[in-house]
Structure 1
Amino acid sequence: MTPADQVAGVRYLVDDVQAALDFYTTHLGFTVHFAAPAFADVRRGPLRLLLSGPASSGARATPAAFADAGRNRVHLVVDDLDAEIDRVRQAGLPRAGEPVSGPGGRQILLTDPAGNLIELFQPAPR
């Protein structure tokens, strides 16, 4: 098992690796660790995001036992949600709703080119 203090990895299945790579590096501050036509590994801080295209081994069919596993998302903490919303709107990125506020802070959801969810979250002042 990977030690707890190392990079955490999340795999997203994408239809177009290059489009996903461009989205995450251009709009969300990820850097490229590795890229190939079928797969890319991008990183932001301690998050390793594995972008698996249709030709990758990660894109094999999910076993039936996990078919209803839900809609998870990558959660990225931001300092100024309003500024991020303005930046997202100016870039013409797709959004999945308006900002939502709760006891822990405020958030907005985006989708990447393959429809995977990304949450931009600003913690409430403490």
Structure 2
Amino acid sequence: MNSTRKQKQPLVIGLWGVRYQVKDVQRSTDFYTQSLGFDLDRQHLLAFGQVSIGDLKLVLSGPGASGSRPMPDGRQQAPGGWNRVILQVEDLPACISELKERKVPIRNEMESGPGGKQIQIEDPDGNPIELFEPEAQ
């Protein structure tokens, strides 16, 4: 442990946001702002964009961004996968209908469980997004 840090100070002090690797920052910021209603916080084309909704910041790292550089062992960071941000919605079936009209890629059918209903969609680079409607309490 670094001796300059106070003993009781936690290593992690809070959530900054979520980073997604993207191929085209402009296309991605357009998707999040136009299809999902995010605000555009900042953009430095071609490398970087940041969008937000509520307390969530989504950092979009394009090719050449510092957050997209290869790992020391040569592994490349790439979009896609199964880890995902979860966005809360109201009336998930209505949201699904609207997304279908907008031709947003949908990975699966709506699933229901003890906590609520969810579906997975994709951004233009294949990064997964879960839309979640919690069970009424």
Structure 2 residue identity aligned to 1:10: V
Cα distance in 1 for partners of 2:121, 2:51 equals 18
Quick one: percent identity of the two aligned structures?
47
Residues 28 and 96 (structure 1), Cα distance of their counterparts in 2 relative to 1, 3 Å cut = same
Cα distance in 2 for partners of 1:44, 1:123 equals 18
**Residue aligning to 1:59:** 68
Tell me the TM-score normalized by structure 1: 0.88
Which segments of 5 or more consecutive residues in structure 2 lack a partner in the other structure? 1-10
- Quick check: which one's strand share is greater? 1
Structure 2 residue identity aligned to 1:47: L
Cα distance in 2 for partners of 1:32, 1:2 equals 26
Tell me, yes or no, if structure 1 residue 100 matches structure 2 residue 111: yes
**Residue aligning to 1:13:** 21
Are the counterparts in 2 of residues 8 and 46 from structure 1 also a CA contact under 8 Å? no
Are the counterparts in 2 of residues 41 and 48 from structure 1 also a CA contact under 8 Å? yes
- Mark the structure with the bigger radius of gyration: 2
Tell me, yes or no, if structure 1 residue 82 matches structure 2 residue 82: no
Q: Cα offset for 1:62?
A: 3.9
Cα distance in 2 for partners of 1:63, 1:111 equals 29
- Quick check: which one's helix share is greater? 1
Tell me the TM-score normalized by structure 2: 0.81
The number of residue pairs the alignment matches comes to 121
- Runs of 4+ aligned structure 1 residues displaced above 6 Å come to none
For the aligned residue pairs, the C-alpha RMSD in angstroms reads: 1.9
Structure 2 residue identity aligned to 1:102: G
